[in-house]
Every structure is written in C-alpha cells, then in structure tokens.
Amino acid sequence: MCCEPHWTAYVTAMLAPLIALMAVWIAYRQSQIARNKLKLDLFEKRMVVYQAVREALSTVAQRGNLTQEEQINYLVGTRSARWLFNSKIYEYLDKSLWHKIVDLELHNSMMSGPMNDQERVSHIRSRADTILWLGAQYEAFDRLCAEDLSLKH
C-alpha cells in the first residue's frame, strides 16, 4: 500500500527554512539600523565641534576678539576633533585656526599697550588681516567638513 505524506508534513518541512529566512532578514535589518544609528551618533558629535568653531568665528566677526571664556569654549568644543574627524581637519583646527585666534589676541593686547605710531599701525594692519582671514574661514571650514557632516544612508 502506497501512502502519500499528509499535507502537514509538507508544511512542517517548509516551516524551518521559512523561519530561518525570516531570522536572516531580521538580523540584516538590525545591522542596517545599528549602522545608521552609529552614523547619526557620529554626526551629532561632529556637529558639536562644528558649532564650537562657528561660534568662535561668529564672535570674531562681530567683535574682533574672543574673551578668555570663549577661547576656552573653543578649545573644549574642538577637543574631540582628533577622534571624530580626519587628521587634516584636526590639524586645521588645532594649528591653523587656533594659531590665528592666538595671533588676534596678541594684536589686540599689543594695541592696548604703549607703543609708537609705526608699531600701532603695524598691529592694526596685522589684526585686520587676521580678522579677514578668520572671516573667510566660514566657507573654508564648511568645505573642509562637507563630507564628514553629511548623512548618507
């Protein structure tokens, strides 16, 4: 006598691979969600650095100087740039931009002290050049950070 398997045998045979496929799909989606969450977290941390730089540049453009507290805010805000951005951006923030901020502070403090007219004119010109350079860094910094501050999924 020939017995054909009952339909439940077919369903049972197909159930295990179907569950395995569902588990693979769920694991894949979870990995995509985790990757996107990591990108968002990294973006948010990079944005803190970006905002600290923009704040400092904005203050220099408005007032022509940074208070000691604002300088500390810049340094604290950009401290994590070493690990969040590439070395080019970190060097830019730590060397180029910070050195110009220090130069500006030097020219501001030298102008308030006693000096002859020629020295004063020299510091005024150097201060103006430094402020112009810092003002141009809005666009330069944006271009430098454009790739790191874009959310791509």
**Cβ atoms 60, 135 nearer than 8 A:** yes
| Residue 127 resides in a domain | yes
| Residue 19 resides in a domain | yes
| Residue 79 resides in a domain | yes
Gap between the Cα atoms of 152 and 132, Å rounded: 34
- Which pLDDT score is estimated for 91? 94
- Structure token pair of residue 136: 């141009």
Domain boundaries, position 126: 8-145
**Cβ atoms 118, 16 nearer than 8 A:** no
pLDDT band at 9 (very low <50, low <70, confident <90, very high): confident
pTM: 0.79
Burial of 56 (0-12, 13-18, 19+ CB in 10 A): buried
| Residue 152 resides in a domain | no
- Which pLDDT score is estimated for 110? 84
What is the amino acid identity at position 43?
Answer: F
Mean confidence (pLDDT) of the chain: 91
Instruction: Give every CB contact of residue 107 below 8 A, 6+ residues apart in sequence.
Output: 123, 124, 126, 127, 130
Gap between the Cα atoms of 141 and 133, Å rounded: 12
| Residue 1 resides in a domain | no
pLDDT band at 41 (very low <50, low <70, confident <90, very high): very high
Gap between the Cα atoms of 153 and 151, Å rounded: 7
| Residue 29 resides in a domain | yes
Q: How many domains does the chain have?
A: 1
Instruction: Give every CB contact of residue 111 below 8 A, 6+ residues apart in sequence.
Output: 120, 123, 124, 127
pLDDT band at 115 (very low <50, low <70, confident <90, very high): confident
**Which is higher by pLDDT, 10 or 95?**
95
> Per-residue pLDDT tens for 11-37?
888 999 999 999 999 999 999 999 999
Gap between the Cα atoms of 26 and 45, Å rounded: 29
